[in-house]
Amino acid sequence: MSKENLLKHLRNIPDYPMKGIQFKDVTSWFMNPDDLREIADTMYEMYKDKGITKVCGIESRGFIVGAILAEKLGAGFVPVRKPGKLPYEKVSMEYKKEYGFDRLEMHIDSITKDDVVLIHDDLLATGGTAKASCELVSRFKPKKIMACFIIELTNLKARCSFPEGIEVSSMIEMDEFENL
């Protein structure tokens, strides 16, 4: 994998969604078939021998590579959604974000105690949504929970705040203010 090649195609959007945030827009990678293939293939290699039975994609960018990864691993895909998007009975969790509160939901039959779960999102920044997803998945008491990200903004140190026992991995580690 070429970090440099991918970073050439990554958009950085200053002051979005609020002043002081350097938003890393991975949709530019999803539009490029070579970048998307490289991301999917690299993540598959990272997880192919881990016995994963379910991939949980966090709304919304986590759905894209999460679903591709689930298919490549021969696992099921579970969407972790914002309120009001799931039609069946659900379990939910409210959590605090850096600029307010939010809620995540999953169907009540999404995960069993026999599942090995990989939670996927595009980016790990402050970690609020990812940690809340881990807590929500842990309510199902699966065998194991892992979390993976395409990019991790290491200067924000979110990895340190995940519950013990959750393996956290990322394809690309970078500082939020790293010059693209």
Catalytic residues: 61, 98
Task: Determine contact, residues 115/54, Cβ cutoff 8 Å.
Answer: yes
Phi, psi of 179 (to 5 degrees): -70, 120
Q: Cα separation of 118 and 146, whole Å?
A: 5
Task: Classify residue 156 as exposed, middle or buried by CB count within 10 Å of its CB (0-12, 13-18, 19+).
Answer: middle
Question: Which structure tokens are listed for 92?
Answer: 């939910």
Q: Cβ(166)–Cβ(149) under 8 Å?
A: no
Which conformational region is residue 165 in: left (phi greater than 0), alpha (psi within -120 to 50 degrees), or beta? left
